[in-house]
Chains A and B, each alone.
Chain A
Amino acid sequence: MKRLKKIWAWIDDRSGFTEIFMPLIKHPVPPGSKWSYVFGSATLFCLVLQVITGVALSLLYQPSSSEAYKSLQFITNDAAFGNVLRGIHYFGASGMIIMVSIHMIRVYITAAYKYPREMTWISGVILFFMTIAMGFTGQLLRWDSNGVWSSVVAAEQLGRIPFIGKWAARLLLGGDTIGGHSLSRFYSYHVFIIPAIIFLFVGYHLMLVIRNGISEPAKVGRLVDPKTYRAWYKQMLVEKGIPFWPYAAWRDVIFGAITIISIILLAIFIGPPKLTGAPNPASLNANPAPDWYMLSIFSLFALMPPKIESYMIIIGPALTILILLALPFVSNKGERHPLRRPWAVFGSVCVIVFVFSLFLLGERSPWSPAFEAKPLTAKNVHSTDTTVIAGSVLFYKKGCLYCHRINDQGGFKGPELSDVSLRLSPADLTIRIVNGGSNMPAYGGILTKKELNTIVAFLNSRNSK
């Protein structure tokens, strides 16, 4: 033991470990920094988990447009613990996005971005968007049909950038079309370029945390005054500060460990997302949808008025980034406590409700045609009239059932028609079908008069659930 201690003393003396790191590890933090402070470190734990599992996945993955899908199948079905590894990386990404979001909301609600922590906030905003970018590029690396088509969707969004849109789309895909360069690029974005930016800003973010200290818990009536804050904070640490390790860090470790264990359990019991079809851009039976953290934006694209959408696809994200970056410049002093900043709390709640509602809508995707719809069952037609039955068949064949619901069958895009005859007369129905509407094709040029009358007869028989 004595010998080991001696060896460690030599290593420590020559490496400077204690001298360099102990002041950092044991730096004083304000008292009362409790459980609401654990989300930043939990994000960092998730990042470390992502790096480790990402490196492991890279040992098995083939970053080539022609081979990536096969290697994903190998990882999922054949490699030892490959499926769990994929699962950890997937849920780790989800965990990181959840933790960074909660961390950001906590910092906003308690106004911890105010003087002198403006740059900590700005680097945090950059890290937030880089985390989302990592999630999205990671989804593309699955390189199944969903990955291929999602990359086209991303290129289309970049295409809306004024003047340089087409170039940006080309740069993303590595050419005019999906091809050999596409996956190599996504791999480089996901494995080298974005992580390099993340490492840079995580280092900077942590350096600022050490330099400016973590924000003290907000107190009603205690204002941030840039003229006196630094001196006050320094004095407060001298008088009341407690060493970060272990008196504050234990909460970070416990919460971080729970987060990591939860991610691993989810990976084992739920597993990674199933792979869709092969990455064939000529196979059109794909239904591209992003992973859950991008689903709210995907929903927004369906719900925005088409006239402003092309503009909002670019202006929306640009404005969001600008507002977040401008925040500490607009308000960098004064009250920090949420009770004295009710609009900040209200705004945060609104954003959370808005994003969560869009997510729930995205899960249901009522705007998408229900291609999986089957012909109406006899129970749902509930008629022996041959015209009505023929109308029900046409209702399916002409695609009406993709968007309209009859009892428990059909889509959600248009109004439910189970009892439409109680609302609309045959003449009204005919006008609607022939002329269509803002969200319905005009079937006047598609149906023959006989077909139209048959469908109207069917709909006119819809008078109960």
Chain B
Amino acid sequence: MNKEDDDIKKEPENEQRRSFLIKLSLGLSFLSAAVAGVPVLAAIFAPLIEKTPKLWRKVGELNSFKVGTTNLVTFENADPEKWSGVTSKSAAWLRRDEENKFTAFSANCTHLGCPVRWEADAHLFMCPCHGGVYYKDGSVAAGPPPKSLVQYPVRINKNAIEIQTSAIPITNISA
């Protein structure tokens, strides 16, 4: 440190000026970053801010499902972006339990989300990833899944079967 610097430091006026300049520089830097950061953070956290609507999607006619059968149905997600292409689709396994009773199972294994397949002859859902197996009612039959297959809301609307669009079921730590 040279003499000039020493003098600057010793003078109370300069000390005040130094302190002011530091605060000004840091304050303005922080303000600029905060203002620029708002839209950036909004883009990052948009999926948490935006609410996805829940819509009923028709997946078939009532008479196209036989009692006791489980069928793959596909439907479009709620509010898909125009550039989603084929990724806007979801699938579910629809079981007609009785004449007027349907159950829609998510196609995601509750272990790690892999796509479960319905083996019609075996009456079992099987997962290709780690060997999770579920009975026809969605309860766990074997393997690592921590809980039953998640069910989607399903209804009969006049002569149509409708499934409510839902989020990919995410299994939490306590499952």
Binding site for B on A (CB under 8 A): 64-67, 148-149, 152-153, 155-157, 159-162, 165-167, 169-171, 173-183, 278-289, 298, 301-302, 304, 306, 309-311, 313-314, 367-369, 371, 397-399, 402-403, 413, 436-442, 445-446
Is the CB–CB distance between A153 and B80 below 8 Å? no
Contact partner of A441 among B124, B128, B170, CB < 8 A?
A: B124
Counting chain B CB atoms within 10 Å of each CB, the highest count among A153, A176, A287 belongs to A176
Instruction: Give B45's nearest chain A residue, CB to CB.
Output: A171
- Within 8 Å by CB of A288, from B114, B124, B173, lies B114
Check B170 against A301 for contact (C-beta < 8 Å): no
Question: Are the C-beta atoms of B88 and A179 separated by less than 8 Å?
Answer: yes
Q: Are B142 and A367 in contact (CB under 8 A)?
A: no
- Name B91-142 residues within 8 Å CB distance of A: 91, 107-108, 111-117, 119, 121-124, 126-131, 133, 135, 141-142
B173 touches A165 (CB 8 A): yes
The 7 A-B pairs at the shortest CB distance, nearest first, are namely A66-B85, A180-B81, A399-B122, A441-B141, A159-B170, A176-B167, A180-B84
A441 touches B142 (CB 8 A): yes
Q: Are B86 and A66 in contact (CB under 8 A)?
A: yes
B23 within 8 A of A: no
* Residue B72 CB within 8 A of the other chain: yes
Nearest A residue to B114 by beta-carbon distance? A288
Q: What are 30 A-B interface contacts by the 8 Å CB criterion?
A: A65-B85, A149-B115, A153-B114, A153-B129, A156-B113, A157-B112, A160-B173, A162-B173, A171-B48, A177-B52, A179-B87, A280-B86, A281-B87, A282-B90, A284-B72, A284-B91, A284-B117, A286-B115, A288-B114, A302-B144, A309-B144, A310-B173, A314-B173, A367-B143, A369-B133, A398-B122, A402-B126, A437-B142, A442-B141, A446-B123
CA–CA, A286 to B82, complex, Å? 25
Among A169, A284, A367, the most chain B Cβ lie within 10 Å of the Cβ of A284
Q: Which residues of B contact A (CB under 8 A)?
A: 44-48, 50, 52, 72, 74, 77, 80-91, 107-108, 111-117, 119, 121-124, 126-131, 133, 135, 141-146, 166-168, 170-175
Asked if B108 and A152 sit within 8 Å, CB to CB, the answer is yes
| Majority SS at the chain B contact face | loop
Chain B hits for A170, CB < 8 A: 47-48
**Which chain B residues lie closer than 8 Å to A289 at the CB level?**
129
A450 to chain B, nearest CB (A): 15
A285→B118 CA distance, assembly (Å): 10
Task: Determine which residue in B77, B113, B117 has the highest number of CB atoms from chain A within 10 A of its CB, and name it.
Answer: B113
Contacts of B117 in A (CB 8 A): 284-285, 371
Partner of B131 from the list A149, A278, A368 (CB cut-off 8 Å) is A368
* Shortest Cβ distance from A279 into B: residue: B87
Q: Which residues of A contact B48 (CB under 8 A)?
A: 167, 170-171
Chain A residues lying within 8 Å of B91, measured Cβ to Cβ, are 281-284
In angstroms, Cα B85 to Cα A265, docked, is 36
Measured between beta carbons, the chain B residues less than 8 angstroms from A399 are: 119, 121-122, 124, 126
Q: Which of B107, B130, B174 contacts A368 (CB 8 A)?
A: B130
